[in-house]
Amino acid sequence: MNHHLLDFALVALVVWPSGTFAFIYFQPRIFYTGVRRVVLRGMGVKAGGIPVNTFYALPALNSPSMSKSALILTGNRDTLYTGGALDLGQGPQILHVPEMAGRYYTVEFFSPWLRLFAIVGRRTTGTRAGDYLISGPDWQGAVPEGVTKLVSPSNSVLVIGRVLVEGEGDLSTAYDLAKQIQVVPLTARQPGQQRS
């Protein structure tokens, strides 16, 4: 009996640290993959899903009726969410944010290991309209004039944006702004084209 207990203890001493290390190391990637899948399937609120390299803005604040998706179960009751999944292996994308006139907003970019590698928003870039080129780590090319370059450590990117709703009567204005946070391929942008 003691022989089996000793064998179990030795196996546990080897397996426990190995399993713990594997879980800690791979957990961010597993979480990222799960969230990306939820986003591409429409976050439980958009029938037909959200295609890669496009954004979708949720039209309503968090509520029990939006609880179909664990991604939307947040404590925020004053924020509209927008976002999507990017595949930069198809080429760089240009993110456009509209004039926010001082309103709080953020657009956060995550790599597959959940590394937050860039934030566009009121605190980091201001609230003026702007365009941002998001490229993969190996992309070499010219950045259009007036566009800020953001380099991702991976070609796979998860993007989550938030736009503050400043009260009951502000929902439609905030939603209109959230819908204007969009990406287009660099190849779709005409030389010298400026967005407002």
* Backbone CA torsion sign across 30, 161, 39, 91: negative
Low-confidence ranges of the chain (pLDDT < 50): 67, 70, 196
pLDDT tens string 2-46:
777 777 777 777 777 776 766 666 777 777 777 777 777 766 667
Residues in the chain: 196
Report the distance separating Cα 92 and Cα 27, nearest Å: 28
Closest to 81 (Cα-Cα) out of 187, 170, 175, 193: 175
DSSP one-letter code for 14: H
DSSP one-letter code for 120: E
In this prediction, residue 32 carries a pLDDT of 73
Name every residue whose Cβ is closer than 8 Å to that of residue 149 and which is 6 or more positions away in sequence.
132, 133, 135, 143
Tokens of 139: 């992309």
Closest to 68 (Cα-Cα) out of 78, 58, 55: 58
Report residue 37 CA to chain centroid gap. Answer: 12
In this prediction, residue 44 carries a pLDDT of 64
Report the distance separating Cα 31 and Cα 27, nearest Å: 6
41, 72 contact by CB (below 8 A) = no
Name every residue whose Cβ is closer than 8 Å to that of residue 109 and which is 6 or more positions away in sequence.
116, 117, 118, 119, 134, 150, 152, 157, 158, 159
Report the distance separating Cα 176 and Cα 195, nearest Å: 16
57, 82 contact by CB (below 8 A) = yes
